[in-house]
């Protein structure tokens, strides 16, 4: 009898202790916020830059997601992924982020439904056709896999399904799911930023033409003012006077891009770039110190690389970088056709294909960087001031969520 009473009393104590622990955890959770991601690839963990953006929102951001209704499982997967990502973002933004899922086809009146479709198209969203199969046959349905994000008096569209085709496949859905954090953060940063950094694409030394860089420039112009600048030894090309005398100068651009120059930089141009860097500017150097002709590989398995005299070796060396006159053999490079034989007058070629090696859920879908003729670029110690300026310039350019590699043949 005494033992039974003791066991019962012990059970009551354990129950009360469990309740007290639970109450204590709840009370502590109201003062401290912490989330745990138990997935191996950390797919539910936001990057520090996204967290900082969400925690510092000054006003309410409202997201209208037009993914709701009856549609195939892959779109349900996308809807669920968007909902989970928004919940994760709301956990950091608090009351400054709210969202709503809307079915754009719920109106039974065809005229009003078409008017709403037109409104979504005018707002910048693209529709997608899907084919539904049933016992009675097949039918087509229109979806708008996108969202409209409103901040104060401004609204921006976000296309959740990244595809240039009206028809979709599961791989497109997976790519869109993996890219949700970047897409939301990208739009939030655009819509909440009062002043965007200015970017200059340098020309005048045989750099990549507008035709070759139009896609990149168009993508940059979605977020930043972009200008094409010819330095030509002009003092006002990269800097502007801070006072009437003009002795104190300020950078006009936060970033300049030098893409694939093929001719030498003059002493005046090198001086302008050096002064721009010393004032805290950032530079993306996409430089090929060697040029090789692909046409030679059509008839032979050998080709010759020719050195480019760009006149920037000494300047880069002062910042701790040296361009090597060599080529790297990399199985992840751009595909190159090698002649392996002939059938009549036609050459047979074998292509070395890029191969994906990343297992990261964010970057695994990114197409490998095309670097057909990459060279090594070792760093060397230099003066502290120039070395610090160089580190600032490259550190600022390296924080890109869309790519884990440098541009082709970066020096």
* Exposed e or buried b per residue across 43-77, where buried means at least 16 C-beta atoms within 10 angstroms of its C-beta: bbebeeebbebbeebeeebebbbbbebebbebbee
C-alpha dihedral sign at 271, 275, 277, 282: negative
Flag whether pLDDT at 23 surpasses 60.
Answer: yes
The reported pLDDT for the residue numbered 361 is 47
Flag whether pLDDT at 101 surpasses 90.
Answer: yes
Among 116-130, 254-268, 270-284, 322-336, the range scoring the smallest mean pLDDT is 322-336
* Global confidence as pTM: 0.58
Flag whether pLDDT at 359 surpasses 60.
Answer: no
C-alpha dihedral sign at 185, 187, 193, 198: positive
Compute the distance between CA of residue 148 and CA of residue 194 in angstroms, rounded to an integer.
19
Compute the distance between CA of residue 32 and CA of residue 26 in angstroms, rounded to an integer.
10
* 3-state SS class at 20: helix
Dihedral of the alpha carbons of 225, 228, 230, 234, in degrees to the nearest 10: -10
Flag whether pLDDT at 131 surpasses 60.
Answer: yes
Per residue in 177-236, pLDDT (tens digit) is: 888 888 899 899 888 887 788 999 999 999 998 888 888 898 888 888 899 999 998 888
Among 63-67, 107-111, 188-192, 405-409, the range scoring the smallest mean pLDDT is 405-409
Among 22-26, 106-110, 308-312, the range scoring the smallest mean pLDDT is 22-26
Percent of the chain, pLDDT > 70?
68
Closest by CA to 202, choosing from 241, 253, 250, is 253
The reported pLDDT for the residue numbered 340 is 61
Geometric angle at alpha carbon 155, from 397 and 365, rounded to 5°:
45
Band of residue 11 on the pLDDT scale cut at 50, 70, 90: confident
The reported pLDDT for the residue numbered 391 is 46
The reported pLDDT for the residue numbered 39 is 63
Kindly tell me the burial class for residue 264, based on how many C-beta atoms sit within 10 Å of its own C-beta (0-12, 13-18, 19 or more).
middle
The reported pLDDT for the residue numbered 46 is 83
The reported pLDDT for the residue numbered 408 is 35
- The whole-number average pLDDT for the span 123-147 is 80
Looking at the DSSP bridge assignments, the partners of residue 291 are: 306
Per residue in 244-267, pLDDT (tens digit) is: 766 788 899 999 999 989 899 999
The reported pLDDT for the residue numbered 287 is 87
Compute the distance between CA of residue 188 and CA of residue 205 in angstroms, rounded to an integer.
37
Closest by CA to 144, choosing from 104, 106, 181, is 104
Q: Which pair of structure tokens corresponds to residue 202?
A: 């340098």
- The whole-number average pLDDT for the span 283-305 is 76
Residue scoring higher pLDDT (192 or 2):
192
Geometric angle at alpha carbon 345, from 344 and 349, rounded to 5°:
90
Per residue in 322-346, pLDDT (tens digit) is: 888 877 665 555 555 565 665 665 6
Percent of the chain, pLDDT > 90?
20
* 3-state SS class at 172: helix
The reported pLDDT for the residue numbered 197 is 87
End-to-end alpha-carbon separation of the chain, Å?
A: 85
Over the chain, what is the mean pLDDT? 76
- The whole-number average pLDDT for the span 353-359 is 49
Q: Across 34-38, 107-111, 134-138, 368-372, which has the greatest mean pLDDT? A: 107-111
The reported pLDDT for the residue numbered 299 is 67
Per residue in 35-93, pLDDT (tens digit) is: 566 566 566 678 888 899 999 998 999 999 998 887 777 888 888 999 989 998 998 99
Flag whether pLDDT at 148 surpasses 90.
Answer: yes
């Amino acid at each position: 009898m005494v033992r039974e009473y003791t066991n019962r009393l012990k059970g009551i104590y354990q129950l009360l202790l469990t309740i007290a622990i639970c109450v204590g955890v709840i009370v502590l959770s109201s003062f401290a916020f912490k989330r745990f991601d138990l997935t191996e690839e950390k797919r539910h963990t936001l990057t520090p830059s996204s967290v900082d953006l969400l925690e510092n929102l000054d006003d309410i951001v409202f997201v209208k997601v037009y993914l709701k209704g009856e549609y195939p499982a892959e779109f349900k997967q996308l809807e669920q992924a968007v909902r989970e990502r928004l919940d994760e973002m709301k956990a950091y933004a608090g009351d400054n982020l709210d969202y709503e899922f809307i079915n754009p086809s719920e109106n039974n009146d065809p005229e009003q439904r078409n008017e709403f479709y037109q409104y979504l198209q005018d707002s910048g969203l693209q529709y997608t056709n899907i084919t539904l199969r049933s016992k009675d046959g097949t039918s087509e349905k229109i979806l708008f896999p996108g969202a409209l994000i409103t901040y104060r008096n401004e609204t921006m569209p976000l296309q959740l399904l990244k595809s240039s085709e009206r028809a979709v496949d599961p791989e497109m859905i997976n790519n869109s799911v993996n890219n949700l954090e970047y897409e939301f953060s990208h739009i939030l940063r655009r819509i909440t930023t009062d002043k965007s950094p200015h970017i200059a694409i340098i020309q005048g030394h045989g750099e990549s033409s507008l035709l070759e860089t139009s896609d990149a420039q168009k993508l940059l112009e979605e977020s930043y003012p972009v200008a094409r600048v010819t330095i030509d030894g002009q003092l006002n090309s990269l800097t502007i006077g801070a006072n009437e005398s003009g002795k104190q100068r300020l950078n006009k651009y936060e970033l300049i891009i030098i893409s694939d120059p093929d001719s030498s930089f003059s002493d005046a141009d090198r001086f302008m770039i050096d002064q721009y860097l010393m004032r805290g500017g950032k530079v993306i150097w996409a430089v090929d110190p060697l040029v090789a002709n692909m046409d030679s590989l059509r008839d032979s398995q050998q080709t010759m690389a020719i050195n480019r005299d760009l006149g920037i070796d000494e300047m880069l060396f002062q910042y701790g970088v040296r361009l090597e006159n060599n080529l790297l053999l990399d199985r992840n490079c751009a595909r190159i056709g090698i002649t392996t034989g002939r059938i009549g007058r036609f050459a047979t070629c074998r292509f070395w294909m890029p191969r994906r090696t990343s297992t990261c859920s964010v970057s695994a879908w990114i197409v490998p960087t095309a670097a057909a003729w990459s060279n090594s670029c070792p760093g060397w110690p230099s003066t502290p001031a120039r070395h610090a300026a160089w580190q600032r310039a490259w550190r600022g350019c390296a924080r890109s969520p869309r790519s884990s590699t440098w541009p082709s043949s970066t020096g």
